[in-house]
């Protein structure tokens, strides 16, 4: 088989690399989701193990010694399995959630309080926006009654400005003006010829 041209190989390689990158990201996301589900399952098993151990210890009898020992061994195994997830899953947990758990509270209460706090901040911000709009309307009305001619000129300027912004030709001209012009580079020879031409006496 004849070797392919370098350009074709580069193009095919680039497309394959992009597709491979997307596939790797999808597989990584799927792997993280599966790992998270496995961790949740292990945590549920740990909770059940702690519940069984607490029941056994609460109703402890001499013949339950072997059962308590077995439950403790199961608990150690569960904790060891959970520790194995620390290098498999990268997940950020807020300190507030851990505080809720340490205080014996449901961690879902953290989500509830966070949503309520965000809703309160949203209402506060909306109140500020409404107040500013009311102030703007009152200010424009008072300025219009005090300086009617100046306000008419001001409104006309605003209309012209909006019309210029909506004109694609004007936008193109403005973008060309703001961009730095490219200065052509002049060679030393051309500069010397120009100087000689201007400085040479007439024949």
Going by pLDDT thresholds of 50, 70 and 90, the confidence category of residue 117 is very high
- Residue 158: which domain range? 93-176
Domain termination residue (choose one: 91, 123, 149): 91
Do 86 and 99 share a domain, yes or no? no
Do 82 and 107 share a domain, yes or no? no
Torsion of CA 54, 57, 59, 61, to 10 degrees: 160
| Domain-located, residue 194 | no
Going by pLDDT thresholds of 50, 70 and 90, the confidence category of residue 62 is confident
Residue 71: count other Cβ atoms within 10 Å of its Cβ.
19
| Domain-located, residue 87 | yes
Query: What is the per-residue pLDDT across 121-149, written as a single tens digit (0 to 9) for each?
Result: 999 999 999 999 999 999 999 999 999 99
| Domain-located, residue 37 | yes
For the ranges 61-75, 92-106, 161-175, 181-195, which has the lowest average pLDDT?
A: 181-195
Mean pLDDT of 27-56: 85
User: ∠ CA 194-199-200 to the nearest 5 degrees?
Assistant: 100
User: ∠ CA 106-110-113 to the nearest 5 degrees?
Assistant: 125
CB 40 within 8 A of CB 21: no
Do 67 and 103 share a domain, yes or no? no
Q: Name the more confident of 165 and 180.
A: 165
Do 128 and 167 share a domain, yes or no? yes
Q: Report the domain count for the chain.
A: 2
For the ranges 26-35, 42-51, 66-75, which has the lowest average pLDDT?
A: 26-35
Mean pLDDT of 80-84: 89
Q: 92: which 2 tokens?
A: 């950020």
Q: Average model confidence (pLDDT) for the chain?
A: 76
Distance CA 148, CA 141 (A): 10
Domain termination residue (choose one: 56, 91, 126): 91
């Amino acid at each position: 088989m004849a070797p392919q041209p370098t350009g074709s190989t580069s193009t095919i390689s680039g497309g394959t690399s992009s597709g491979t990158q997307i596939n790797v990201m999808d597989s990584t996301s799927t792997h993280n989701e599966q790992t998270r589900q496995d961790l949740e399952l292990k945590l549920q098993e740990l909770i059940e193990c702690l519940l069984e151990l607490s029941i056994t210890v609460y109703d402890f009898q001499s013949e339950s010694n072997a059962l308590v020992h077995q439950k403790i061994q199961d608990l150690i195994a569960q904790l060891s399995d959970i520790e194995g997830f620390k290098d498999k899953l990268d997940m950020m947990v807020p300190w507030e959630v851990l505080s809720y758990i340490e205080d014996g509270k449901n961690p879902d209460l953290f989500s509830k309080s966070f949503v309520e706090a965000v809703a309160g901040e949203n209402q506060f911000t909306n109140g500020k926006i409404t107040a500013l709009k009311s102030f703007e309307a009152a200010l424009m009305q008072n300025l219009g009654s005090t300086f009617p001619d100046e306000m008419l000129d001001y409104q006309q300027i605003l209309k012209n400005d909006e019309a210029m912004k909506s004109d694609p030709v004007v936008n193109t001209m403005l973008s060309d003006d703001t961009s730095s012009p490219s200065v052509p580079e002049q060679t030393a020879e051309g500069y010397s010829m120009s100087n000689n031409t201007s400085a040479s006496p007439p024949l």
